[in-house]
Amino acid sequence: MHWQDFLDFMTNFRTDRIMEQLAAWNIGNLSQNPYVLAGLVLAIAITFFLGWKAISGFIAGLGGFTYALSYAVSKGTGTEGLSGGGVWVLVGGGGVAIILFIYLLFIRSE
């Protein structure tokens, strides 16, 4: 692989291309889909009660961050996202998801 091939590959990770791909996947509707939310809650509850607290924490962190990302994308990005609160939801929701993930994975894992 040459340097130019690597640079061409890395252009796929530009913010505008990532947001276009998230919009193409229709991720903005995940925060309103009851089947997705019920599936996450059910997976977290099953793994927690089976004693798999590390997996439960991982699913809770991943699900929480996905929910925050979905809500932020549905509110909009850029300057319209600032007025709609999308960026603050992404930062706050991501922070809460990470705190819950760390608590369930490392602090409550004994």
The residue behind tokens 């889909």 is 33
Which residues lie below 8 Å from residue 36, measured CB to CB, with a gap of 6+? 30
For the entire predicted model, the pTM comes to 0.59
Per-residue pLDDT tens for 75-89?
A: 665 555 556 666 676
pLDDT of residue 77: 58
Per-residue pLDDT tens for 9-67?
A: 888 777 777 777 777 777 767 777 788 888 888 998 898 888 887 788 788 878 877 77
pLDDT of residue 1: 66
H helices present in the chain, as ranges? 3-10, 15-24, 34-49, 53-75, 79-84, 86-102
